[in-house]
Amino acid sequence: MGDVFKALADATRRIILDELTERDGQTLFEICGRLTTRHGLNSSRQAISQHLDVLESAGLVQTRREGRYKFHHIDTAPLEPVIARWLKKPGRETPCESA
């Protein structure tokens, strides 16, 4: 779970995930273009590639190669344990309620 939190700690990586949520399956070139035009981020392709590597290591991005192109896809499965950990379940008391 630590890798997920590390990946989400950076604002640029959260914006990349937002962009992949809106339009999944983008190449590095497409992601860079959208970050520049929509968010005014002028990071180098190498910097964005490093952000994508962190997201991929955390399992939040999956990649697929087609010829010389690499497509990036969001994967929200690693977020499920994070959400479940703090999501209040029916019938479960919180410490404040039992006092």
- Tell me the pairing of strands 61-66 and 69-74: antiparallel
- Confidence at residue 93, expressed as pLDDT on a 0 to 100 scale: 59
Return the domain boundaries, the chain. 2-86
Specify whether the CB–CB gap between 73 and 20 falls below 8 A: yes
**CATH 1.10.10.60 holds for 2-86:** no
pLDDT in tens, the chain (99 residues): 789 999 999 999 999 999 999 999 999 999 999 999 999 999 999 999 999 999 999 999 999 999 999 999 999 999 999 888 888 766 655 556 555
This prediction's pTM? 0.84
